[in-house]
Amino acid sequence: MKNLKRYRLFFILILGYGVLYFINESLFNMSTQKTSSSLLEMILVLPPVFILLGLLDVWVKRETMVKMMGKDSGIMGILLAFFLGSAAAGPLYAAFPVALTLLKKGSSFRNVLILIGAWSTTKIPLLIFEASSMGLNFTLIRFGLNIFGILGIALISEIVLGHKELEEIHARSLSIEN
């Protein structure tokens, strides 16, 4: 019974797909095609991400991660988070398992938010494409604004959450199984 509750939304979506088939078959076919394409993309992207996370989990000691990206890592932790996020491959949903692993290893919440922000807006291939199509001035202005925006969001989030909530986030990350 617990599993039925857990997958309630999934069953509602399947029911919605069934109803859609009878209401508008062409929309059902387009929706099914897009869903299949997205699932295939996830199947191709997520296994390499999980393999890399497993290697990170085994190869990088917690003490090293705390030193490099922990609460007291300072500017080096921020720069490393930006670099990892900007150099990362794959869609944004692949960043969340990485973020969880970093939290479990002792990375600061601020640096995890910076990594997610950089992953979503400052990817190196995106910047190259953007510079070639939109111009270098546009790219540099957007990139600069993104850096300040990401830093601002991370710092404000850390201040607003406070010490107690940040400790709770870290505790919850440790209780989540990969």
For 164-178, write each residue's pLDDT tens digit. 999 999 889 888 875
> Over the stretch 128-142, which tens digit does the pLDDT of each residue have?
889 999 999 999 999
pLDDT in tens, 91-131: 888 889 889 988 988 899 999 999 999 999 998 888 888 99
**Domain chopping of the chain, boundaries:** 1-43, 60-175
Amino acid at 78: I
pTM of the predicted structure, to 2 decimals? 0.73
Please report where in the chains the tokens 């970093």 appear, as a residue.
Answer: 102
Concatenating the DSSP letter of every residue in 78-117 gives: HHHHHHHHHH--S-GGGHHHHHHHHHHHT--HHHHHHHHH
Q: Which residue has the tokens 């069953």?
A: 11
